[in-house]
């Protein structure tokens, strides 16, 4: 048996309750990881609230990333072995001592990083790579704006975009958070409580790419902030999924609006993202040019406290659960 944290019913952080379950067994192409740390992410809170169901066949436990030791491998696995230290994108089940995941979604712990740091990598790095570089097609020299620059996604996006030669801009909600964004490589950090990001970007000629997780009223403002032929990639909607938009400028200025969520994507798509990360981003991490930004640590049984802290939006970077 293993210790886990379950969602007892849809609701607030208080519905996360410690429990026990049988240790999972690996299926074809899967491995079992004895987790040392698990990452805490916004999709976990959405699932807890009953707004983001797990994919068919996935664990109903929250938790989409973690790091630890591979303790069992299923049939058809050749690239990962028992005893390997890995970080992994999980289909679910991270709030537990053991979790299963496709072996192809495991990546080696980068040299120089601890398991705690490595647990901060998969969800945000998979998300940023696929949305900023694959879907958003960011190129060196382009102006890139990321909202929520001090979040796990934001701190990752700033560093990766800067490492690949883009001019980076970010929004955040305090001077402290703005300072962090600049330290990580943002050319300018905009305190959205005091300054209008549309004006800042338009004065520069507009953003070639915007990564947004706010949604709602930000959508038409993002369109205004784009350069001609600019791209907007939507990955969440903290301010709601519905807004009225005038399509005229999308057509006349040749703007592109797209978006994605990571969890429902196919195993093949996630495998390709993992391969790209290992090839293009892991060397940057091992060279110290990109690093996970860790905010705080809670023990597994304190998952409810971790969610409360995450939903306060006071954190900077990633929150992890200590499992061991």
- Residue 288 CB contacts under 8 Å (≥ 6 apart), including other chains: 112
Percent of the chain topping pLDDT 70: 100
Task: For residue 232, give both structure tokens.
Answer: 């907007």
Query: In terms of Cα–Cα distance, which of 291, 300, 298, 295 is closest to 314?
Result: 295
Task: For residue 155, give both structure tokens.
Answer: 């701190």
pLDDT tens digit sequence for 9-67: 999 999 999 999 999 999 999 999 999 999 999 999 999 999 999 998 999 999 999 99
pLDDT tens digit sequence for 182-214: 999 999 999 999 999 999 999 999 999 999 999
Q: How far apart are CA 24 and CA 19, in angstroms?
A: 15
Residue 233: phi and psi, rounded to 5, are: -115, 120
Under DSSP, the state recorded for 195 is S
Percent of the chain topping pLDDT 90: 96
Q: Determine the pLDDT at residue 68.
A: 98
Q: 240 or 302: which carries more pLDDT confidence?
A: 302
The model's pTM is 0.95
Beta-bridged to residue 190, according to DSSP, are 171
Residue showing tokens 């696929």: 130
Mean pLDDT, residues 260-287? 96
Mean pLDDT of all residues belonging to the chain = 96
Give the 3-state secondary structure of residue 45.
helix
The per-residue DSSP string of 261-319 comes to: -STTS-HHHHHHHHHHIIIIIHHHHHTTSS---EEEEEEGGGHHHHHHHHHHT---BEE
Q: Determine the pLDDT at residue 50.
A: 96
pLDDT band at 239 (very low <50, low <70, confident <90, very high): confident
């Amino acid at each position: 048996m293993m210790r886990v944290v379950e969602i007892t019913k849809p609701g607030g952080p208080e519905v996360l309750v410690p429990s026990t379950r049988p240790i999972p067994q690996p299926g074809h192409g899967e491995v079992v990881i004895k987790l040392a740390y698990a990452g805490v992410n916004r999709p976990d809170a959405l699932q807890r609230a009953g707004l983001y169901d797990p994919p068919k066949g996935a664990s109903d436990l929250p938790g989409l990333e973690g790091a630890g030791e591979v303790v069992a491998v299923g049939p058809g696995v050749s690239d990962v072995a028992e005893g390997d230290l890995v970080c992994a994108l999980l289909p679910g089940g991270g709030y537990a001592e053991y979790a299963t995941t496709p072996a192809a979604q495991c990546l080696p712990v980068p040299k120089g990083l601890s398991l705690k740091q490595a647990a901060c990598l998969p969800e945000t790095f998979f998300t940023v790579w696929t949305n900023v570089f694959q879907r958003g097609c960011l190129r060196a020299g382009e102006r890139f704006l990321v909202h929520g620059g001090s979040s796990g996604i934001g701190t990752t996006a700033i560093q990766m975009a800067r490492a690949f030669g883009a001019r980076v801009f970010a929004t955040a909600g305090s001077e402290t958070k703005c300072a962090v964004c600049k330290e990580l490589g943002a050319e300018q950090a905009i305190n959205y409580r005091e300054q209008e990001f549309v004006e800042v970007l338009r004065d520069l000629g507009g953003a070639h790419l915007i990564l947004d997780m706010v949604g709602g009223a930000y959508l038409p403002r993002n369109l205004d902030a784009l350069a001609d032929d600019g791209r907007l990639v939507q990955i969440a909607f903290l301010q709601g999924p519905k807004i009225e938009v005038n399509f005229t400028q999308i057509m006349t200025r040749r703007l592109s609006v797209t978006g994605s969520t990571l969890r429902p994507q196919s195993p093949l798509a996630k495998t390709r993202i993992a391969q790209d990360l290992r090839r293009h981003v892991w060397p940057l991490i091992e060279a110290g040019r990109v690093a996970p930004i860790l905010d705080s640590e809670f023990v597994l049984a304190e998952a409810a406290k971790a969610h409360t802290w995450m939903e306060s939006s006071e954190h900077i970077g990633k929150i992890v659960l200590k499992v061991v």
